[in-house]
Structure 1
Amino acid sequence: MSFLYKADPVRGAEWARLFAEQAPDIPFHCWPDYGAAEQVRYLAAWLPPENLASQFPNVEVVFSVGAGIDQFDFSLLPPDIPVVRMIEPGIAVGMVEYVTHAVLAIHRQSHLYARLQREQRWQEHPIKPAASCRIGVLGLGVMGQSVLSKLRDFGFPCAGWSRSAHALDGVDCYAGEDALPAFLARSDILICLLPLTQHTRGILNRKLFNALPAGAAVINVGRGGHLDEAALLEALASGQLSSATLDVCEIEPLPAGHPFWEHPNIVLTPHIASMTQPASAVEVVLDNIRRHQSGQPLIGLVDRSLGY
């Protein structure tokens, strides 16, 4: 029995060290070195091999090295192999830091003052209390709930939307398509933390932007596929949106010459909002391996019919 890691090789080296310390009885291989293919029982990958079933016929569990699994082509994975998304505290902590920073930068007009500094203009603008800035989070999974918990502590009125009903302390929860317009109408800063599925692809579109209060801001830390890029540029040009903070794009890396690069009202980061931390990731994966070997339910098991 062996474990194969197929993702960033630098992080793979750290995984190898941690496996050697914590599970020396499990042979660890880092792609493209996979040892004896028939011995591979567990695979951790960003993108699994296209010929997984034939190349590694004895794989029993596939782990995603990220919180999302939309990059997986499930048609290439045997239906009987469990797929597990990464559930580790470091991902949520990093996301909370990024989104909190983005929200506070918008709320305290950091980008306006950066421009004034470049222009050498000493000009103050009114400060609005957090209670006047309504936060809306699309997606109420672990990260959505963690973000709302932190922003609520600043005094922002917080709401969340998801397809299924939730109840969270201090958060107005909306559920289902019928509730989406009311949720959007009270969201001055909209944060997308949805998984990317056939139902959520392109959800950040012209219709959604027009349902937000005039001058709202958007933060997308979900996936690039959530965003209609042309609709975003139109909404920014018309003033319907005041700004957008984007950590993800449909094409990554973003191509040279793309209008997002130099847009004055777009803040762009290269998919770094949150990263899996090797130490806690290995801990979670090893726990799931032990659970699998003892017949217990896996933590983070993906429902293929839902796409997350």
Structure 2
Amino acid sequence: MRVFFAAPPPSWDRWAPALRAACPEIELCREGDPAGFDAVIYAPGYPAGGQEMDFRPFTNARLVQSLWAGVERIVGNETLTQPLCRMVDPGLAQGMSEWCLGWTMRFHLGMDHYRQDGVWRNTLVPPLASGRKVTILGMGELGRAVAAALRGVGFAVTGWSASGRAVPGVRMLGAAALAQALGQAEVLISLLPDTPQTRGLLDARRLAMLPRGAVLLNPGRGTVLDDDALLAELNSNRLGHAVLDVFRAEPLPPAHPFWRHQRVTVTPHVAAETRRSTAAPVVAENLRRAMDGRPLLHLVDRARGY
């Protein structure tokens, strides 16, 4: 099985050993006749120079496997007619769950209130987790994993998705109930994908629906959030804090006001890193499925964009 590795050059040294160990039957290549490859492994940034990859010569490829969970940079490529699968792996879900749980706990417990300055602040006692309302926007693989982690601690979790499809143990709301989902969110976690429907969803009108003092966590996609509207809400003292891991432009420019705002914490797109040790076996399984003609894992719905 011949597989073309379409990713920026530094990725080769990191990924090739892991992929060959997980799937020793493949012949992994960075060059060759495109028509001779059975599958393509892809990561954004290929080819260099900001150009879109031309998938038309890969006439025999049965699969294009993304190494990223987000596929917004490739799903609109008109030359891509092969089946496209996004990355969903246990390590990515665990990393996202730990990030969201950690930051939720920080604000739930009010850890920043206890400054070491000699003042005995024993009136600042948080409620139990069961008394803290958390809303998750986006209940795909990652949203469900985050909800399970939060529920494990006892948080009252509400999930929102366009479909409102049931998730065991989570109160689910659908598209028409977005105002309700936002209005009760003491902690709001956005795990929405980047689609035409989600871009700019958290604008001034919808951010104003959040309760006073609410905390926003965005480890999903930067395009969901209106940056200026968020800054206005923070500056008015209506929102308590925002922890942002994703941005419209990355790396976040040094002059961006998020860096200097006292109520914003920036993390550098590390909430859910694809880890080779857990992702390579997922790629291997999909490569084998493609060759055997079996259903592929995490197949992208082109119409929905994810």
- TM-score of the two chains, using structure 1 as the length reference: 0.90
Query: Which 5+ residue runs of structure 1 have no aligned equivalent?
Result: none
Q: Which residue of 2 aligns with 1:248?
A: 246
Report SS of the residue matched to 2:38: strand
Q: Which residue of 2 aligns with 1:25?
A: 25
1: CA distance, partners of 2:214 / 2:258 = 18
Runs of 4+ in 1 over 6 A off after TM superposition: none
Larger CA deviation: 57-66 vs 130-139: 57-66
CA-to-aligned-CA distance 1:166-207 (integer Å, 9 cap, x gap) = 22333211011x211111111110000111100001111111
AA aligned opposite 1:66 = W
Q: Which residue of 2 aligns with 1:135?
A: 134
Report the CA distance between 1:37 and its aligned residue.
Answer: 3.3
Q: Are residues 112 and 36 of structure 1, via their aligned partners in 2, closer, same or farther at CA, if it must alter by over 3 Å?
A: farther
Report SS of the residue matched to 1:52: coil
Does the 8 A contact of 2:214 with 2:240 survive in 1?
A: yes
Does the 8 A contact of 1:202 with 1:227 survive in 2?
A: yes
1: CA distance, partners of 2:26 / 2:298 = 22
Question: Alignment length, in residue pairs?
Answer: 299
* 1:267-286 alignment, distance < 5 Å: 267-286=265-284
Q: Which residue of 1 aligns with 2:208?
A: 210
2: CA distance, partners of 1:273 / 1:257 = 23
AA aligned opposite 2:107 = I
AA aligned opposite 1:39 = G
Larger CA deviation: 133-142 vs 65-74: 65-74
2: CA distance, partners of 1:292 / 1:85 = 14
Q: Which residue of 1 aligns with 2:70?
A: 68
CA-to-aligned-CA distance 1:112-165 (integer Å, 9 cap, x gap) = 44xx34xx4534251212233200000111111111111112221110000113
1: CA distance, partners of 2:177 / 2:23 = 48
Does the 8 A contact of 1:94 with 1:273 survive in 2?
A: yes
AA aligned opposite 2:162 = R
- Pick one of 42, 65, 89 that aligns with 2:39: 42
Larger CA deviation: 163-172 vs 198-207: 163-172
Q: Which residue of 2 aligns with 1:86?
A: 87
AA aligned opposite 1:92 = A
2: CA distance, partners of 1:77 / 1:54 = 6
CA-to-aligned-CA distance 1:229-278 (integer Å, 9 cap, x gap) = 00000000112211000000110001111100111111110100011121
* 1:223-242 alignment, distance < 5 Å: 223-242=221-240
CA-to-aligned-CA distance 1:4-36 (integer Å, 9 cap, x gap) = 22335555324311333343332112xxx4234
Q: Which residue of 1 aligns with 2:289?
A: 291
Does the 8 A contact of 2:56 with 2:80 survive in 1?
A: no
- TM-score of the two chains, using structure 2 as the length reference: 0.91
1: CA distance, partners of 2:229 / 2:96 = 25
C-alpha RMSD of the superposition? 1.9
2: CA distance, partners of 1:275 / 1:106 = 23
AA aligned opposite 2:215 = A
Task: Using the aligned pairs only, state the percent identity.
Answer: 36
Does the 8 A contact of 2:23 with 2:281 survive in 1?
A: no
Query: Which 5+ residue runs of structure 2 have no aligned equivalent?
Result: none
Q: Which residue of 1 aligns with 2:119?
A: 122
Does the 8 A contact of 1:209 with 1:240 survive in 2?
A: no
AA aligned opposite 1:250 = R
